[in-house]
Structure 1
Amino acid sequence: MKFTSLLCHTILLFVHTCFAGKTQQQSKNNETVVEINHKCIKSEYIIKTSGELAAISSCSILSGSVCIENFNSDTLYLGQIQEIHGDLIVKNSSQIIKMEAPDLSFVEGKLELNTLNSLTYISFPKLETVDALQWEVLPILTFVDLEAGIKNINSVTMADTSLTGFGGFNTETLRTLNINNNRFLEKIESTVSKITGDLLIAANADNVHVSLPNLTTVTTLTIKDTESINMENLQVVGKSADFSHNSFQKLDLSHLRSLGDTLSIIKNKNLNEVKLEKLTEVSGGLIIIDNHDLNNLDFFISLKSVGGATEFQGDIQSNHFSKLKVIKGSAILKSSNKGFDCADWMKNEVGKVVRGGKVECGSGKSNTTEILLVDEDGKSVQGGTVINDNKETGSRSGFTKQKSGATTSKLSRKMTTLISIYIIGFLIQLI
């Protein structure tokens, strides 16, 4: 009898647990267990009306992704929602002007806002944790409230907005930081110290100031169209670094030690000072082209090896490598400066360190470009001159080959052998 009563009691508890309309889930801190109403549990919520949104806005915790598309109201209000265990996606909703989530502090997945052409105002005052922030095509967005500051985030993409400043992110590590095509964005600030993927800042306001004072490590780096940049503590770039079309005067990379690929410094119209005193290795190429005010390329004072080609163009007065041991590619320099001495540069700066490429130099001092071909052992195998009909490209019509002694010797031996064979054949016919 007691057994039967106990069994019935157990069954009743089971039924109550299954059908009472609630389930249990750990909260974001993984310490407390809270009960969630069944209406707050779903793999995905597709929301198109304010009524559908109101039906879930009383959930403090939502288990599942929320996708809001073609929304029919000018205000998107997330009510009492504190946590979303999934993605929050709002897209293709031209009516939305204002978006408010007064209690939202946690989004397990990404927070994506895409193609919201009327959105001007976003308020997430308590948001601290989100995996990825992906905001694109918000052309008149001008105000964002992130009062608490996002402390846990892996990726940030912000493109095509009308924001004037970027901040509110207090994190040490990011996977991606991509800020582009925000035409009024004048200030970008972050305390991030490590970016494991790409850092891209480009096509924002012409006078944008970028401050990343704690950044030490990044995989791929692209900085374009900026007025000032603070990355003075950067130490390692895992792949390539590209600084192009900027208006800053100074590029301070005084703590940078190595690059895993190519370093490009191209068309920075006001650049006149570069600091790279600790850079010892560039695993790819080294390209410095058309920086109008950058005349002295003498800042590679510790550089020992370049894994690809070097190419320098501009009004270059001097270029010295005090510790360079090897360039595993070609070395090309084209200077419009009449005082630049190509013969000295080819002989004393790069001629002895190039392995398996060409050494090419032209300057305003002469109407010719000197070319020297070098094998992988560093030996000159061919040389010549190009007449510069066009100073930018040069004309190959005046190129004259100069065979090295080793090459000439090989040709002489081949000619001797052919003559010997001919004579022997002739004598055999006579016999």
Structure 2
Amino acid sequence: MQIKSFLLPIVAALLTSVSAADSSNKCSFSKTSITEATGISQLNACSTLDGEISISGSGIGSIDLSSVKVLKAKLSILNSPSIVSLNFNQLQNITGALVINNATQLNSIDLTQLTNVETLQLVSLPSFAILNLNQGVQKAGTIVLSDTALTNLNGLASFNTIDSININNNKNISKIEFSDLQTVTDSLILSFNNDDAEVKLDSLKWAGNLTIQDVSSIQASNLTSVNGSLLISYNTFDELEFPNLKSVGNSMQIFAHDELTKISFPKLSELDGELEMFNNTQLEEIDFGNLTTIKGAVTISGPFDNLTMENLKLVSGDFQVNSTSDKFDCSAFDKLHEKGKIEGHNYVCTHPANPSSSSKSGSSTQTGKSDSKSSDGSSSSNSSSSSKKGASNVLVVPGMVLTTALGVLLALI
């Protein structure tokens, strides 16, 4: 009897463990594809979903997963033109991934309790206008929001660190503000949303890669480092300033602006890749006053008067600067080139001749070579002065001939 009483608790514990394992296995799905509403009911019987689950087809109208609290699985909803709503109102954690792509009639997603998300991708959802995130996402890994009808990012802006965020082609979003975001370990892409979109990243200090396209304003006053590439293009602002940015770990590209007149990076000291600027049709002033090193090629073209790089000590690649302003001066870059501090094989610096000096030099374009400029100027002025002397000598000859002729006539009389 004592042995039985000793074994009974052990047997009961084992049975409980087996039962729990069976229950858990029912909620673990290995490459499961669901195309009918009955499959959704099976998912909704679980508080935790695990595995790899795909929902597709046109046989489902609404998805109710209101019993699910944790999503360990990768749940994909793909190519489903009939789905109009998704209810995940008890979901708190996505440690796997929620991917929704090409659900053309999907209008609303309820993620009221969601606070932590590893991967959330909402792509090609042209009817998607309502996202309920009342609690606000506090921790995030990767978020992609592309081609939706959303008008705001409410609830998606409470985290201070994220691996990657990509918000693009959401034509109704006119304000993008991440007031708490300090670190983006991989990439931050804000591209081609509303043409008048205003971007505020006032707490951002560090980003792996940063891309800003088609916005009307950008504020990132505390950004100090971009570890990879910085790309700024197709925007409508007239000034671009990163007042505290000190380093860029790869390339910098600024192009395709019709209203941009001024670029200012006053604290940038090191660029570890190429510097490229082009098709900025109104650009007048470029300030890289603290920049000392460019570990790549430089290619800059435009109508700018000033390119300030007074502390530049080294360019590791080719150098090509072409200004269409006659106020631009190549002399500082010529000197740097002559000292061997521009290490690339190709060096070009051009601008039109200044009108005030063109009469002296007779040159329409300067190449930044100080010796050719001085020789052109001296030969031109010499030929000009000799022409004036020749003209005055010719005027003396007719007077002398006339005087001689009159003297001869008087003598004959």
Q: TM-score, normalised by structure 2?
A: 0.80
Alpha-carbon distance between aligned partners in 2 of 1:172 and 1:231, rounded to the nearest angstrom: 15
Q: In the TM superposition, what whole-angstrom CA distance separates every residue of 1:359-409 from its partner, at most 9, and x where no partner exists? A: 21222225446277xxxxxxx9xx999xxxxxxxxxxxxxxxxxxxxxxxx
Q: In the TM superposition, what whole-angstrom CA distance separates every residue of 1:192-247 from its partner, at most 9, and x where no partner exists? A: 21111122222222111112111111112221111111112111111211111111
For structure 1, which runs of at least 5 residues remain unmatched after alignment? 25-35, 373-379, 386-431
Aligned equivalent of 1:178 = 166
Alpha-carbon distance between aligned partners in 2 of 1:212 and 1:161, rounded to the nearest angstrom: 22
Q: Which has the larger radius of gyration?
A: 2
User: In structure 2, do the counterparts of structure 1 residues 13 and 319 end up closer, same or farther at CA, with 3 Å as the change threshold?
Assistant: closer
User: SS in structure 2 opposite 1:165?
Assistant: coil
Q: In the TM superposition, what whole-angstrom CA distance separates every residue of 1:303-332 from its partner, at most 9, and x where no partner exists? A: 111111222211121223221111112222
- 1:315-394 to 2 correspondences below 5 Å: 315-342=303-330, 344-348=331-335, 351-352=338-339, 353-365=341-353, 366-368=363-365, 370=367
Aligned equivalent of 1:311 = 299
User: In structure 2, do the counterparts of structure 1 residues 15 and 311 end up closer, same or farther at CA, with 3 Å as the change threshold?
Assistant: closer
Alpha-carbon distance between aligned partners in 1 of 2:159 and 2:39, rounded to the nearest angstrom: 35
Q: Are the equivalent residues in 2 in contact too, given 1:351–1:359 (CA < 8 A)?
A: no
Residue 184 (structure 1) shift = 2.6
Alpha-carbon distance between aligned partners in 1 of 2:53 and 2:145, rounded to the nearest angstrom: 20
Deviates more, 1:42-51 or 1:72-81: 42-51
Letter matched to residue 6 of structure 1: F
User: SS in structure 1 opposite 2:165?
Assistant: strand
User: SS in structure 1 opposite 2:140?
Assistant: coil
Alpha-carbon distance between aligned partners in 1 of 2:25 and 2:189, rounded to the nearest angstrom: 42
User: SS in structure 1 opposite 2:346?
Assistant: strand
Residue 290 (structure 1) shift = 2.8
Letter matched to residue 306 of structure 2: S
User: In structure 2, do the counterparts of structure 1 residues 256 and 9 end up closer, same or farther at CA, with 3 Å as the change threshold?
Assistant: closer
2:86 matched to 1:88? no
- 1:171-210 to 2 correspondences below 5 Å: 171-190=159-178, 191-210=180-199
Letter matched to residue 131 of structure 1: E
Identical columns (%): 27
Aligned equivalent of 1:33 = none
Letter matched to residue 242 of structure 2: L
User: SS in structure 1 opposite 2:352?
Assistant: coil
Q: In the TM superposition, what whole-angstrom CA distance separates every residue of 1:167-186 from its partner, at most 9, and x where no partner exists? A: 42211111111112223322
For structure 2, which runs of at least 5 residues remain unmatched after alignment? 354-362, 374-413
Aligned equivalent of 2:398 = none
Aligned equivalent of 2:218 = 229
2:281 counterpart (292, 295, 301): 292
Residue 88 (structure 1) shift = 2.5
Alpha-carbon distance between aligned partners in 2 of 1:84 and 1:96, rounded to the nearest angstrom: 20
Letter matched to residue 100 of structure 1: N
Q: In the TM superposition, what whole-angstrom CA distance separates every residue of 1:45-91 from its partner, at most 9, and x where no partner exists? A: 53322222123324333344443222522211112222222222211
Aligned equivalent of 2:33 = 46
Q: Are the equivalent residues in 1 in contact too, given 2:46–2:68 (CA < 8 A)?
A: yes
Alpha-carbon distance between aligned partners in 2 of 1:281 and 1:105, rounded to the nearest angstrom: 43
2:91 matched to 1:104? yes
User: In structure 2, do the counterparts of structure 1 residues 347 and 10 end up closer, same or farther at CA, with 3 Å as the change threshold?
Assistant: closer
Q: Are the equivalent residues in 2 in contact too, given 1:39–1:56 (CA < 8 A)?
A: no
2:152 matched to 1:168? no
2:260 counterpart (242, 254, 271): 271
Letter matched to residue 20 of structure 2: K
Alpha-carbon distance between aligned partners in 1 of 2:169 and 2:93, rounded to the nearest angstrom: 28
Letter matched to residue 280 of structure 2: N
Question: How many pairs were matched up?
Answer: 361
Letter matched to residue 137 of structure 2: I
| RMSD between superposed Cα atoms in Å | 2.6
2:20 counterpart (22, 29, 37): 22
Aligned equivalent of 2:111 = 124
Q: Are the equivalent residues in 1 in contact too, given 2:139–2:162 (CA < 8 A)?
A: no
Alpha-carbon distance between aligned partners in 1 of 2:28 and 2:333, rounded to the nearest angstrom: 71
Letter matched to residue 232 of structure 1: S
2:145 matched to 1:148? no
Alpha-carbon distance between aligned partners in 2 of 1:167 and 1:156, rounded to the nearest angstrom: 14
Deviates more, 1:267-276 or 1:171-180: 267-276
Q: Are the equivalent residues in 2 in contact too, given 1:50–1:71 (CA < 8 A)?
A: no
Alpha-carbon distance between aligned partners in 2 of 1:123 and 1:7, rounded to the nearest angstrom: 49
Which has the larger helix fraction? 2
Q: Are the equivalent residues in 2 in contact too, given 1:311–1:332 (CA < 8 A)?
A: yes
Alpha-carbon distance between aligned partners in 1 of 2:348 and 2:49, rounded to the nearest angstrom: 65
Letter matched to residue 213 of structure 1: D
Letter matched to residue 184 of structure 2: I
Alpha-carbon distance between aligned partners in 2 of 1:13 and 1:154, rounded to the nearest angstrom: 38
Letter matched to residue 274 of structure 2: G
Aligned equivalent of 1:376 = none
Aligned equivalent of 2:404 = none
Alpha-carbon distance between aligned partners in 1 of 2:184 and 2:33, rounded to the nearest angstrom: 34
User: SS in structure 1 opposite 2:120?
Assistant: strand
